[in-house]
Homo-oligomer: A and B are copies of this chain.
């Protein structure tokens, strides 16, 4: 059973909306509050050789990215840390605090515990007048991504010049807010790779997504075939995938690339052929 099947079984128990977006959204004080929680384990989620401050930064960044993907402003972050060695907490907190400060978020509290393996759960709170969900795409909208794709996977495959991109992700907070204000119709972050992300969007929209490999913004200096594979199937990039009506694009202050368009047929295609739902995914032994 993989993570998406598990979440499918949960959504039958919970309100479907609870599992359909990067964040849960609840109304309060005339706005939407958005909430996201991410569990990370040392051996499966953090590339080898990361320092404790780098681990703390990444734990905060993945959650802030989920808030950014709703087009919301981050307000507060909580960190629950299961520590294999208590002295690691200081470095982890320093890194998380630096990331929070960089994105205007308050590191507001947390919990600690002893644990065999370092385990970090970061939970974030954000707010927005209007949220951009995964659903909402309409045929004719452009399909776009911020920044470029495949850099984190290039680093995992040995290109050391992309290492910072892998270990110190920059959540697209300002971009998410600008895209929200500009009228993006659907949005999510690409941390599991473009192919899986497009299929996640497909699952909650009544339309499909047609992308073209020639348009994909690739990691510089990587051979083209490899770069395209990294861009489609590689995980660890924290860019935003969004759809937006053509007359609303480009958006001032947002570096983004059109990679395709929203189509009526409910399928994800690349250069006209079906794009497999493949990429980074948690998987348990069957």
Give the interface of A toward B (CB within 8 A): 1, 3, 6-7, 9-10, 13-15, 18-19, 23-24, 26, 28-31, 33, 35-41, 44-45, 75-76, 78-83, 85-87, 89-90, 93-94, 97, 106-117, 119, 121, 123, 125, 127, 282-284
Contact = CB atoms under 8 A, between A and B. Distances in A.
Contact of A81 (B31, B39, B86, B109): B39
A167 to B, nearest CB: 19
Contact of A113 (B39, B82, B107): B39
Contacts of A93: 10, 13-14
B284 A39 contact: no
B125 A44 contact: no
Contact of A119 (B19, B78, B119, B125): B119
Contacts of A282: 112-114
A94 B113 CA distance: 25
B26 A29 contact: no
Contacts of A87: 1
Contact of A14 (B6, B107, B116): B107
A15 B114 CA distance: 24
Contact of A35 (B112, B125, B284): B125
Given A86-B284, A113-B282, A115-B119, A108 B18 contact: yes
Contact of A106 (B26, B31, B38, B45): B26
B108 A75 contact: no
26 contacts: A1-B87, A10-B89, A10-B110, A13-B97, A15-B106, A18-B106, A18-B107, A18-B108, A18-B109, A24-B76, A24-B108, A26-B125, A28-B28, A28-B29, A29-B31, A33-B76, A35-B109, A37-B123, A38-B111, A39-B121, A41-B115, A44-B113, A80-B123, A114-B282, A115-B119, A125-B125
Contacts of A112: 3, 6-7, 39, 282
B31 A28 contact: yes
A13 B121 contact: no
A38 B38 CA distance: 13
A284 to B, nearest CB: 5
Contacts of A106: 15, 18, 24, 26
A61 to B, nearest CB: 15
A208 B117 CA distance: 39
Contacts of A79: 37
A33 B35 contact: no
Nearest to A80: B39
